[in-house]
Amino acid sequence: MRSSKYTEHYTDTFITFKEIMRTVSNIYHNCVPDKIKNRRNTDQLK
């Protein structure tokens, strides 16, 4: 069986996934406060 190969691939994929999630969460935390402020402002304007 190819269990060791599969495990290596899974580990690589998982590490890559964690890196992507870290990047996404950083971008999210940087961008979202502005969007929330803008949304609050537009709500007040209506």
CA distance 45 to 19: 39
* pLDDT for 1 beyond 60: no
* pLDDT for 35 beyond 90: no
The pLDDT value given to residue 11: 86
CA gyration radius, the chain: 20
The pLDDT value given to residue 23: 93
The token pair at 39 is: 């949304």
The pLDDT value given to residue 41: 65
Average pLDDT, the chain: 78
Q: List the domain boundaries for the chain.
A: 17-46
pLDDT one-digit tens code per residue, 5-26 = 777 888 888 899 999 999 988 8
